[in-house]
Structure 1
Amino acid sequence: MSHSFGMAIESLVAVLLLLTIGYCMLLNTRLKRLKADEHSLKATIAELITATEIAERAIGGLKHTVRDVNENLGSQLTSAAEMSLQLRKQVAEGDNVFRRLSKIAIAARPASETEPAVPKVSAAQAVAAAAQAFSERRRSDGLAA
Structure 2
Amino acid sequence: MRLATLLTGSAEEAADVVQDVLMRVYRDWHRISAVEYVDAYVSRMVVNRHLSRARSLSRRDRRERLVAVPEAGPSPSHGVAERIAERDELATALASLGRRQRAIVLLRHVDGVSDEEIAASLGCSTVTVRSQASRALAHLRSALAEGSRP
TM more than 0.5: no
TM-score (norm 2): 0.25
TM-score by length of 1: 0.26
Larger Rg: 1
Greater percentage in helix: 1
